[in-house]
Amino acid sequence: MSHMDPNTVVIQMKDIVKKFGDFTANDHIQLTIHQGEVHAILGENGAGKSTLMNILYGMYPPTSGTIEVKGKEVHIDNPQKAIELGIGMVHQHFMLVQPFTVTENIVLGMEPMNGLSVNLKEAREKIRALSERYNLMVDPDAKIEDISVGMQQRVEILKVLYRGAEFLILDEPTASLTPQEIGELMEIITHLTADGKSVILITHKLKEIKMAADNCTVIRRGKYIDTVKVGDKSEDDLAGMMVGREVNFRVEKKAQTPTDTVLEVKDLHAKDYRGAEILKGLSLSVRRGEIVGLAGVDGNGQSELVAILTGLGKAVSGDVVLNGETVTNLPPGVLFEKGITNIPEDRQKHGLVMPFSVSENLILQNFAKAPFAKHGILQQKAIKDHAGKLIEDFDIRPAGCEQRPAGTLSGGNQQKVIIAREVTNDGDLLIAFNPTRGLDVGAIEFVHKYIVEQRNKMRAILLVSFELDEIMSLSDRIDVIFDGKIVGEVKGEGADEYVLGKMMAGGAA
Amino acid sequence: MKQKLLGSHLLLTLLSIVIGFLVGAILLLIIGISPGVAYAKLFTSVFSEFKYIIYSMIYASPLIFTGLSVAFSFKTGVFNIGAEGQFVVGSLAALAVGIFVDLPAILHVPLCLIAAALAGAAWSAVVGFLKVKRGINEVLSYIMFNWIAFYFSNYVVNLQAVHKEGGGEASKDILESARLTAPKFLTDMCPYANWGFLLAVACAVLVWYTITKTTLGYQLRAVGHSRTAAEYGGISSNRIFLISMSISGALAGLGGAVQLMGMSGRLSQFAGQEGFGFQGITVALIAGSHPVGCILSGLFYGAMKYGGTKLSLVNVPNEVVNIIMGTIIFFIAIAHVFRKLFQRKQKGGAAA
Ligand SMILES: Nc1ncnc2c1ncn2[C@@H]1O[C@H](COP(=O)(O)OP(=O)(O)OP(=O)(O)O)[C@@H](O)[C@H]1O
Ligand SMILES: [Mg+2]
């Protein structure tokens, strides 16, 4: 990396404290960013990373502490001010207008006027130039709805660059990207820093930190722990600093013989939302006491398959058989009663009712059953006690969050709420879709342990994940999905990453 | 946190009410009327005597019902702009039972109320059915159903069996046993005093209880907040839409019955829609869709309506009341913009 001047401090956040009510999300945090560096921020779910970045981006003011940009103290009271200071932020959830083109999205809110009409030509040229300069390969005329998630993220980055950002904040930019897209993003980041821009990178993946970052600031439960040179530390060191204990990356799994078949999917055909055929005769089975991993690149039919299995989508033809009974296209409530539980892909859309409290969310499928309801009346005490127990067992933070709206928890803790609920809903089949997306390494270890425990209790587990590492470390059997069909199956034990990767790309085993 | 939000809604509502009166004052000044005189009259018309307060409560009763109806629908994310029509069919059903069935009061009154609730529920459920089975936007069909109810009511009032001989453009009176008349000491004070207000309060509490404490309420709120997550949890949103729209219709229908059985005693032919349903939207918005809040905002609207009737005594057009209410709603409707600004300020304040 050729830095402009890696010794120039460009941003300094000193003693930042942020309180929400009497809860302290940031407790005297220090952050120093140099010109041209990639600075990672590492911390467990709910440690306060997003909060710190939102403060830097002017979303809300710190309770106390100061911010200096290029040596001058500043008060960033709104994002507009942050943008003027050269700070740009790419949020985890994109804020793009689907039917608009890339250019239209980028100029939105600062349209170049030509008399009374909007002059897009100039903007388009500028966007094309920026895209070339940083190797983003974005087509300014493409419509957002037609481009992939990875491409949309680049549009967000372009938007920030277009507004003249020198400092880019990327909050969990890789959480929804495929491994290939992640590689490309890392390259883009290199182009940016080579040009003297500084990048603040939030990610839970230590691999990415090792790959891209120069320095790393660790925070734990809102407190500043340390800032270290990434080159001096191993992944294990970083994980230990972040969690405050040693993290075991290996999943312990005892050998076990699966018994009868719980789920059998036969020759399933289905269409995606555009009406194109997406499942093209998919068949698979899961037995009691085994974890079957479904490996594949996003967009090969995984979402549609899980939607059908959980009753949220419809199959055109083919059968879903559960414990010998055909259950194809039954509604979600019925499938749940028959024993299909699910950690959904999209936690904000399906997993949680965001304005509902954590307690209310924890009874989403069972609200009408004893002890949570009697004669149609909700039993507040039972509901609260149940939540209290799960919050403690699953270490959902902050402790005592029973009555908080789920939407105010950090992303990782929202995921823990769902996991707590679905793991304790005992059905014969558990479908886990990207169960550790957005979780910190400590929480991942914990979730993996739970999934294995469910297997050991002789539940059937279907694990759908875009993380090959996760599939390989958990599965007893791996099915590879490509273009709406299973194209190959390997044993989990000793599976070869290279072979799997080739199958996932449509090549023969 | 929650209290803060509630607090800020209350604050914004009060602010909107103040602005409503200010805008009314400006308009009065423009047409050369002293706002002081007008507002003083409005105030004394409501508060100067105990019986006036009772009158305000009488005016408020149907509005609390339609307010509850709209607020209930909001909880599930449906906009019941059809409370107007449900109100009308409710009063028609109560009228039919009130005229043609002869029973002791202890049975007659509940029967009329039940008929009205069922009629309102059915009227709204048809729209719900079109929504969930045919995907027809409820707002459009509700508005159509309002007009159908309106013309149907005028038709029924003029039917020979219903029409009152020589009674102008109105129906016969309902039987005395179907009336909600209050005890004598109250009717001595004001002849229209009736049980409607107590019924409205009871319904508001019942609605509040249903929404917050029951499994049905859980489902209503879940669907209202996130249809996708509710479906994922096994709640059929179509079923919930049907239930919520029916209950909402029943509440509006009860409003129609209370107006008939407590106040008018008969139905007249109308030149235009009476507006109880639309005023219910205002009541629900001022209440922030809180059922118990609907009692307060219904009282407010009722008092304004009652006070408005006396403005002509001081040569003030009573339309000024509509303008004030319209302005209040306008500001409450754009209040979420305010609220965002406000919360940022509050956060800043709390942080400093
Ligand atoms: N607006 C808010 N009101 C109340 N509490 C909040 C608010 N925003 C964040 N918090 C709390 O502050 C803490 C830190 O949240 P933050 O989103 O910064 O975590 P994070 O480090 O980004 O975690 P994750 O990795 O899970 O995204 C959490 O406990 C969260 O519940
Ligand atoms: Mg975060």
Closest ligand to the CA of A42: 1
Q: Give, using CA atoms, the residue closest to atom 7 of ligand 1.
A: A408
Residue pairs spanning A and B at CB distance below 8 A: 86
> What is the structure's pLDDT at A282?
96
What is each CA distance from B63 to B17, B281, B298, in whole angstroms?
A: 18, 9, 5
Please provide the DSSP assignment of A238-272 as one string.
HHHHHHSS----SPP-------SEEEEEEEEEEE-
What gap in Å lies between CA A307 and CA A471, rounded to an integer? Answer: 20
Report the CATH architecture of B52-299: Orthogonal Bundle (1.10)
Band (pLDDT 50/70/90 cuts) for residue B184 is: confident
* CA atoms A26, A31, A33, A38: torsion sign: negative
- How many A from CA of A355 to the centre of ligand 1? 15
What gap in Å lies between CA A175 and CA A348, rounded to an integer? Answer: 14
Cβ pair A285, A488 in contact under 8 A: no
Cβ pair B190, B268 in contact under 8 A: no
> Does A132 have pLDDT greater than 60?
yes
Q: For a substitution probing ligand 1, which of A55, A218, A410, A441 has the most ligand atoms within 8 Å of its CB?
A: A410
Contacts of A339 (CB under 8 A, 6+ apart): A262, A322, A323, A427, A428, A429
In CATH terms, the fold of domain A9-243 is: Rossmann fold (3.40.50)
Is B225 close to A355, i.e. CB distance below 8 A? yes
Alpha-carbon distance B226 to nearest alpha carbon in chain A (angstroms): 6
Torsions phi, psi of B342, nearest 5? -60, -45
A481-501 per-position pLDDT tens digit? 999 999 999 998 888 888 888
Looking at chain A, the domain(s) classified CATH 3.40.50.300 span 9-243, 256-339+427-509
> Does B274 have pLDDT greater than 60?
yes
Q: Which atom of ligand 1 approaches the CA of A48 most closely? A: 18
Q: Which atom of ligand 1 approaches the CA of A92 most closely? A: 27
**Closest CA relative to residue A445, chosen from A421, A470, A466:** A470
Please provide the DSSP assignment of B233-253 as one string.
TT--HHHHHHHHHHHHHHHHH
Cβ-Cβ contacts under 8 Å, A331 against chain B:
234, 236
Cβ-Cβ contacts under 8 Å, B219 against chain A:
367
Asked casually if ipTM beats, i.e. exceeds, 0.95, the reply is: no
Band (pLDDT 50/70/90 cuts) for residue B344 is: very low
Q: Which of A81-90, A308-317, A457-466, B321-330 comes out lowest in average pLDDT?
A: B321-330
- The residue that leads in pLDDT, A95 or A396, is A396
A211-228 per-position pLDDT tens digit? 999 999 999 999 999 999
What gap in Å lies between CA B268 and CA B7, rounded to an integer? Answer: 43
Using a CB cutoff of 5 Å, list residues around ligand 2, an ion.
Answer: A 50
What is each CA distance from A454 to A221, A384, A457, in whole angstroms?
A: 29, 25, 5
- Exposed, middle or buried by CB within 10 Å (0-12, 13-18, 19+), for B326? middle
B33-55 per-position pLDDT tens digit? 888 988 998 899 899 988 899 99
Q: Which of A320-324, A352-356, B18-22, B270-274 comes out lowest in average pLDDT?
A: B270-274
Strands (E), chain B: none
Report the CATH architecture of A256-339+427-509: 3-Layer(aba) Sandwich (3.40)
* CA atoms A257, A262, A266, A272: torsion sign: negative
The total of other beta-carbon atoms located within 10 Å of residue A124's CB is 18
Q: Give, using CA atoms, the residue closest to atom 18 of ligand 1.
A: A48
List the 182-241 stretch of B: residues with Cβ below 8 A of A. Answer: 213-219, 221-222, 225-226, 228-236
**Residue ranges of domains in chain B:** 52-299
Closest partner residue to A356 (CB to CB) among B225, B344, B350 is: B225
> Does A151 have pLDDT greater than 60?
yes
**Closest CA relative to residue A11, chosen from A92, A66, A89, A91:** A66
Is B219 close to A364, i.e. CB distance below 8 A? no
Band (pLDDT 50/70/90 cuts) for residue B216 is: very high
Return the structure tokens found at B47. Answer: 């508060």
> What is the structure's pLDDT at B107?
95
Q: What average pLDDT does the structure give for chain B? A: 89
Cβ-Cβ contacts under 8 Å, B235 against chain A:
333
Is A77 close to B222, i.e. CB distance below 8 A? no
Closest ligand to the CA of A49: 1
Q: Is A35 helix (H, G, I), strand (E, B) or coil?
A: coil
**Closest CA relative to residue A91, chosen from A127, A36, A54:** A54
List the 118-177 stretch of B: residues with Cβ below 8 A of A. Answer: none
